[in-house]
């Protein structure tokens, strides 16, 4: 214990600095003022990124965390300030992202009295955080905040919330209690793979003629992409990924099958139909991957590796399940697989190569500008080297298909929660995390308008992000489902009131570029990427009613995959 003449707010900011925090994304307010004031009165180098809205601030912290691999931090006030972070917290929780939300609270003397801007954020946030805590003792602030950070960044990464009453952050503290030992139970258990289970997986893999690896977000969180590729090469085994797993293996690699599932590549989905062995590392077998659980890989040996024991057997019952960190497991598997011979898999590789030729990703040209074309041309222009954030909807799926991810942690999107409005603020966080990288946000006209106020934040910071608005004047994915599953009865999906996005960008101080035809595409994109001193909004007016294919209908088996409109033949 070290005596320090400091306030609770200063203890919080000092603790963040000691934990390597460089940015705090926030919106100020009365109950949080002692903590915001401490950003000026302490010696830390933490920079405040002032957002316009607390949801945007939380998405910024999320994007920062995903791009950097570090903790993202949001600082807000009580009541509506804390409440506005809930969508961002839920997004981070569903996608296993380490974010710490620190919020002010009314003084302890009036908690429970419905004081001005009082909200029981502890109760509200409980289902969507890994840990939350309301501070009551200024002397315990450093210890408890460090403990919360430890919980967020170990085991399965997930958000935490730290609620600080104003009197606790404002009062002087007499001692600083240090956080020295990790909590005895963070809910993650052991991350060392069981040796017998590793051997069982290896034995089954050696005999498999048609093996497939499914790589999820856990591979990226464990920084184990190199081990994954080494193992795939060693065993001549193709790799498909979840939406969040993009980048676990370079998608231009011969062993990459691209994304799996509802809107995955046809050849990845076909491989799953025929696989006799599936190794899932760091994926939770969500419904968009599995479809019909009873028929999913029903004739295959399934091995499931996840850092969270609760995910093993929750959706799919594996032949072998291992609770382990992905990197530790992959290293163990590399050693074990090197001890024995495997069957020849050249026929499997040839078959998958044929599937790539027979079922390629493609799009129409010469009949109006499509989202796919805009994304593909952006990919070619950047040579696939940008960090891409995507909002949610049709453009998200097309971006996942046509913008190949070559490096870990360069594809950032909201997968589990499917949060519209995520793309722009996440791009702001990613650009601050990686200032020397090109950052692109693919957004729809609907989702963009949910957080477009954060253009002010991007302009204030002079961030050279490229915001590509794919404007079809629809909530496109919802319209697609209405067409396919509700007899094309459109309701609540048109966007007739869209603004002139070029003028909007210019009002904020960003550059605005209009692309409204195939002929203007290449020149418009080239112009956008030449501007590097401020954000650029590209308003791409695209065809209105295109649908995303391939598509496995929700809850359906893989053999029901559609390659085009229902009148077309399925994959069989």
Cis peptide bond upstream of 550, omega within 30: yes
> What residues contact 325, with CB distance under 8 A and at least 6 apart?
191, 222, 307
Q: Is 116 a catalytic residue?
A: yes
Looking at 10, 35, 166, 529, which residue is catalytic? Answer: 166
Write the DSSP symbol of residue 491: -
What is the C-alpha to C-alpha distance for residues 98 and 89, in angstroms, rounded to an integer? 10
Looking at 477, 480, 482, 561, which residue is catalytic? Answer: 477
The answer to whether 215 and 240 are in contact (CB under 8 A) is: yes
The answer to whether 217 and 289 are in contact (CB under 8 A) is: no
Measured torsion, CA atoms of residues 105, 111, 115, 120, in degrees rounded to the nearest 10? 60
Q: Which of 400, 444, 416 is nearest to 265 (CA)?
A: 400
Q: Is 117 a catalytic residue?
A: yes
The answer to whether 530 and 459 are in contact (CB under 8 A) is: no
Looking at 4, 18, 50, 117, which residue is catalytic? Answer: 117
Q: Is 166 a catalytic residue?
A: yes
For residue 179, give the 3-state DSSP assignment.
coil
Q: Is 314 a catalytic residue?
A: no
Q: Give CB contacts under 8 A, 24+ apart, made by 80-83.
A: 80/54, 80/117, 80/119, 81/27, 81/29, 81/31, 81/32, 81/54, 81/117, 82/54, 82/119, 82/121, 82/124, 82/163, 83/54, 83/119, 83/121, 83/124
Q: Is 35 a catalytic residue?
A: no
For residue 102, give the 3-state DSSP assignment.
strand
Looking at 54, 140, 336, 406, which residue is catalytic? Answer: 54
Q: What is the DSSP string of 222-277?
A: TT-HHHHHHHHHHHT--EEE-TTTTTSS-TTSTTEEEE-STTS-HHHHHHHHH-SE
What is the C-alpha to C-alpha distance for residues 319 and 344, in angstroms, rounded to an integer? 23
Q: For the chain, report the end-to-end CA distance as a whole number of angstroms.
A: 69
What is the C-alpha to C-alpha distance for residues 302 and 275, in angstroms, rounded to an integer? 10
Looking at 116, 380, 385, 544, which residue is catalytic? Answer: 116
Residues marked as catalytic: 54, 116-117, 166, 477
């Amino acid at each position: 214990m070290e005596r320090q003449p400091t306030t609770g707010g200063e203890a919080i900011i000092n603790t963040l600095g000691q934990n390597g925090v460089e940015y705090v994304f926030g919106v100020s307010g009365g109950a949080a003022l002692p903590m915001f004031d401490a950003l000026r009165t302490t010696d830390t180098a933490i920079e405040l990124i002032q957002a316009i809205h607390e949801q945007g601030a939380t998405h910024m912290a999320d994007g920062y965390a995903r791009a950097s691999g570090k903790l993202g931090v949001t600082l807000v006030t009580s009541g509506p300030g804390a409440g506005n972070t809930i969508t961002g917290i839920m997004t981070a929780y569903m996608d296993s992202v380490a974010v710490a939300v620190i919020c002010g609270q009314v003084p302890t003397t009036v908690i429970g009295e419905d004081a001005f801007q009082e909200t029981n954020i502890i109760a509200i946030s409980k289902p969507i955080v890994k840990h939350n805590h309301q501070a009551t003792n200024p002397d315990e602030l450093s210890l408890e905040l460090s403990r919360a950070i430890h919980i967020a960044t170990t085991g399965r990464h997930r958000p935490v919330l730290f609620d600080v009453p104003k009197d606790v952050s404002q009062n002087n503290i007499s001692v600083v209690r240090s956080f020295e030992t990790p909590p005895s139970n963070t809910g993650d258990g052991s991350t060392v793979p069981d040796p017998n289970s590793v051997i069982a997986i290896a034995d089954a893999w050696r005999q498999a003629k048609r093996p497939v690896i499914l790589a999820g977000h856990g591979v990226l969180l464990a920084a184990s992409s190199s081990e994954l590729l080494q193992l795939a090469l060693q065993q001549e085994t193709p790799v498909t990924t979840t939406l969040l797993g993009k980048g676990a293996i370079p998608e231009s690699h011969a062993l990459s099958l691209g994304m799996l599932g509802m809107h995955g590549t046809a050849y990845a989905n076909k491989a799953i139909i025929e696989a006799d062995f599936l190794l899932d590392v760091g994926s939770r077998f969500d419904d968009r991957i599995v479809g019909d659980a009873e028929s999913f890989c029903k004739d295959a040996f399934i091995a499931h590796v996840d850092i969270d024991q609760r995910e093993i057997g929750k959706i799919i019952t594996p032949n072998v399940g291992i609770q382990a960190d992905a990197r530790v497991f992959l290293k163990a598997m590399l050693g074990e697989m090197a001890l024995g011979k495997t069957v020849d898999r050249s026929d499997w590789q040839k078959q998958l190569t044929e599937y790539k030729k027979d079922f390629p990703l493609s799009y129409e040209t010469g009949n109006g500008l499509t989202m796919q074309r805009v994304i593909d041309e952006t990919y070619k222009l950047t040579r696939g080297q940008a960090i891409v954030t995507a909002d949610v909807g049709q453009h998200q799926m097309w971006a996942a298909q046509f913008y190949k991810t070559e490096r870990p942690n360069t594809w950032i999107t909201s997968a589990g929660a499917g949060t519209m409005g995520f793309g722009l603020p996440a791009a702001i966080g990613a650009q601050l995390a990686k200032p020397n990288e090109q950052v692109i946000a693919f957004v729809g006209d609907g989702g963009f308008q949910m957080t477009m106020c954060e253009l002010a934040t991007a302009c204030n910071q002079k961030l050279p992000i490229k915001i590509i608005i794919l404007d079809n004047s629809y909530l496109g994915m919802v319209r697609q489902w209405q067409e396919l599953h509700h007899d094309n009865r459109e309701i609540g999906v048109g966007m007739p009131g869209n603004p002139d996005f070029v003028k909007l960008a210019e009002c904020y101080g960003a550059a605005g570029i209009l692309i409204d035809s195939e002929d203007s595409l290449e020149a418009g994109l080239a112009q956008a990427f030449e501007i590097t001193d401020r954000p650029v909004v590209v308003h791409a007016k695209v065809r209105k009613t295109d649908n995303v294919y391939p598509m496995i209908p929700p809850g359906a088996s893989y053999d029901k995959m559609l390659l085009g409109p229902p009148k077309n033949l399925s994959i069989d």
